[in-house]
Amino acid sequence: MESQLLSMTFIMFGMLSFAAYMILYTPTSTFSKWMVGINAVAGFVLLSSYLVGTFQQYSQYLAFLKAQEEMKEVKPKGEVAYVN
């Protein structure tokens, strides 16, 4: 999951830098510059929502691993761990 977060972050930066290059340095019409800008904003919103969802899933996974480690520590001592 860490690789998904990192790769999607780099894709977002690449997309935004490409859009900035297309808007600022290419001799195209104003309409196409507006379309590139709108497309970049929409792509940023969609990819950032994917990043938020992946991060939430990753944080829940880490919390589950931590709870498992705590349960392993309790079992050898003879105590019973109940999960409500």
Question: What integer pLDDT is reported at residue 66 of this predicted model?
Answer: 86
Closest CA to 4 of 58, 76, 63: 58
Question: Looking at 17-26, 40-49, 69-78, which range is the least confident one?
Answer: 69-78
Question: What integer pLDDT is reported at residue 22 of this predicted model?
Answer: 92
Residue with tokens 């195209």, as numbered in its chain: 28
Rounded to two decimals, the pTM is: 0.65
Number of domains in the chain: 1
Tell me which residue range forms the domain holding 59: 2-77
Residue 48: how many CB atoms within 10 A of its CB? Answer: 13
Residue 84 placed within a domain: no
Question: What integer pLDDT is reported at residue 10 of this predicted model?
Answer: 92
Identify residue 53 by its one-letter amino acid code. Answer: G
Question: What integer pLDDT is reported at residue 35 of this predicted model?
Answer: 94
Residue 65 placed within a domain: yes
* CA 17/CA 28 separation, integer angstroms: 17
Closest CA to 5 of 58, 42, 44, 43: 58
Residue 83 placed within a domain: no
